[in-house]
Amino acid sequence: MLELDKYGFPRTSGIFETIKSVDGKLVSLNRHMRRAADSARQLGISIPGEEMIRKQIIDELSKNPYAIGKLRICFGNNVFSVTHEEYQERTEPARVNFFSETVIGSQHKQFPYSSRFSILEAARDEGFDDSILFNSKNEITESAVANLLFLIDGDWITPPITAGLLPGVVRAIAIEECSVKVRPIHISEIPDIESAFLLSSLRIAQPVSHIGDMKVKIGESSLDLQARINASSQPVSVG
């Protein structure tokens, strides 16, 4: 049996995808698999064929059915695992703070993932849900476990991949289908943020209510964008 760490990852290194399930259907499976295949190719990791992966996914969903679930697929050298756990929807807006150290992001979804969970746990110890990260240029990159989206001067903006962040699946949907713009966001612009979202494969688009002590709006623009992102992230059947 594959030995897992306390976060549920194999005790080795590799890449992974986390996918939301709704009544046995998966959100953006094809986008996740394309990202995994690209990362595997660049990192020299062998992954099974598409049919084997699909069969394992179907088997796992059948063995562990949940109304809302978290499907995790891990690939590594001599590692291929698929797990499915129940996921509790986040219904409240998020409160985020700032992580004080520079974090070098990765364009690949890699494990071990303990460093990111440590940031998340530290934020929660301070009464927040996540932390905003910065690069060496004092530009906003992402949060510990999500991409970021801000309303500044009437435009919805997300930082570029070149700032040092993961090219998230929901982030791509927001850019490609919801007219979100991409540009660097400097720390000095934080007071100009009107509204914000955490974007991830499980949260999809979670509104932010506070950045540190600063309260941000969850107004009509936020609700409209959230609805559009959700409409573009509908689950589809695996079989």
The domain that contains 19 carries what CATH number?
A: 3.30.470.10
Same structural domain, 57 and 142: no
User: Does the pLDDT at position 47 exceed 80?
Assistant: yes
Whether 238 is in a domain gets the answer no
Confidence of residue 33 (pLDDT cuts 50, 70, 90): very high
According to the 3-state scheme, what is the secondary structure of the chain? CCCECCCCCECCCEEEEEEEEECCEEECHHHHHHHHHHHHHHHCCCCCCHHHHHHHHHHHHHHCCCCEEEEEEEEECCEEEEEEEECCCCCCCEEEEECCCCCCCCCCCEECCHHHHHHHHHHHHCCCCEEEEECCCCEEEEECCCEEEEEECCEEEECCHHHCCCCCHHHHHHHHHCCCEECCCEHHHHHHEEEEEEEECCCEEEEEEEECCEECCCCHHHHHHHHHHHHCCCEECCC
Give the range among 3-7, 176-180, 181-185 with minimum mean pLDDT: 3-7
Q: Out of 59, 86, 113, pick the residue that ends a domain.
A: 86
Domain residues for the domain of 78 are 14-86
- Do 151 and 223 fall into the same domain? yes
pLDDT at 153 over 90: yes
d(CA 229, CA 79) in angstroms, rounded, equals 33
Q: Mean pLDDT over all residues of the chain?
A: 97
**pLDDT tens digits for 99-133?**
999 998 999 999 999 999 999 999 999 999 999 99
The domain that holds 106 is classified in CATH as 3.20.10.10
* The predicted structure's pLDDT at residue 51: 96
1 belongs to a structural domain? no
Residues 207, 116 within the same domain = yes
Q: Are residues 209 and 119 part of one domain?
A: yes
- 197 and 216 both lie in a single domain: yes
Predicted pLDDT of residue 206 = 98
Task: Specify the pTM.
Answer: 0.96
9 within domain boundaries: no
Residue 142 forms part of a structural domain: yes
User: Into how many domains does the chain fold?
Assistant: 2
Asked whether residue 142 falls in the same domain as residue 196, the answer is yes
The residue out of 44, 66, 86 marking a domain boundary is 86
Report pLDDT for 138: 97
Confidence (pLDDT) at 4: 86
Pair 76, 114 in one domain: no
User: What's the pLDDT score for residue 65?
Assistant: 98
Q: Which of 58, 86, 114 is the last residue of a domain?
A: 86
Q: Do residues 82 and 99 share a domain?
A: no
Q: Is the pLDDT of residue 195 over 80?
A: yes
110 & 179 share domain: yes
